Structure 1
Amino acid sequence: MFREWGFLITEMVVLIILAALLGLLVGWLIWGRREVETVVEADTSQADALRADLAGCRDNVAQQTAQIATLQADLDAAQLATSEANARADAAASAAAEAVAPVAAAATVMPEPEPAPLPEAEPINQDFDGDGVVEGTDEGAKPTTLTQARGGQADDLKQIKGIGPKLELLCNKLGFYHFDQIAAWSDQEVAWVDANLEGFKGRVSRDKWVEQAQLLADGGETEFSKRVEDGDVY
């Protein structure tokens, strides 16, 4: 009897061991599958992320390709506009050169302008008093002259219109200091003075010195002499 009990116990132990081994096997299979599923899920997520990144990269590449195409089109348009502008500029320059060429050619053949004629020298002898006789330095008769002003006080000959400061000095040099001297000149004497006023020849007749001097010698005055006395002329 005890042998049968020992046999039963042995079988029970063996069965327990087999059950434990079977449980271990089943547990290993279950947990191993879960680990595989976890790994697969992780790999699947990573693959999805990579696919999304790849799609984004493709989108970026497409956008960049479109931008490159747009920029290339703009560049081509700018180059075309530049070429057209250069062509128009060249055409305008050619037209301007063609327009200027005849003028330049005409300018090259234009004769040099003739030099302006030199002013004719004043004739040595002229008809100062308009009597038809050409006066010379020996023409007429030299008036009576003085070596100095009477009483050391000369008249202001500048009150005679036509006699300025320089001409007054020349008259004094010739011996004429007073109004009454000039007022007394005859036609012959006027002719002599006209011919001998160096640089001012003919001024006696032209400006009517004698008539003015006669009025001033008599104590009269002219509009011009008033202005000289007032300092409005010299």
Structure 2
Amino acid sequence: MAIDITALLTFGLPGLVVGLALGWMLFRGTAKLEAMQAEHDKAASRLATASAEVARLEKELASARDQVKPLADEVDRLRREKAARKVESTGTPPPADSTPSAAPLPGIGWKAGRKLPTFLEAPIGPTDDLSLLKGVGPRLAARLREIGIFYFAQIADWSPEEVKLVDAKLDNFRGRIEKDHLIEQAKLLASGRLTEYEARFGKLGSD
């Protein structure tokens, strides 16, 4: 049977060209997909390595804190003992400094060992200097007082729900409670664990 070259070129060649083009596009697409998958696998591997490193460092940090705490408590005990002896020998208390009290003085509606309200209408005894908390400047300290927060003990006992309530009232300072670890700081200051506080957050009263 004779082959019609003209028909072959007219109808067969375009199909061949299209087939080759589709094959080439499929090949390139597959290669690109494989390259993307390889990059994804590398990124996942790096993320897994980084996550493992973070977990290791967090474990070491927790262990270090556990080791520091007994020593810090002993230093604080010696500081209190030294201050008490100075009072006994001189008959006068040591000069006031920036060291916070362990807790607010008892007042109406509050007793030692009881949780303070999230917001207070007025202070119950001498207030704490909230600007001692790292990240709390004069403006934020003033705003906290405006909404009824006067003591480290208040902040130290906040639940996640209370954090949301307080944060909603902080206007331009929203997010600072978590960002600056205010609850962790307040827990240490409210309990008088000054040495442990300075080991974790830096010297009290410094920027």
TM interval, shorter chain, is 0.3 to 0.5
TM-score by length of 2: 0.39
**Higher RCO (CA < 8 A, seq sep 6+):** 2
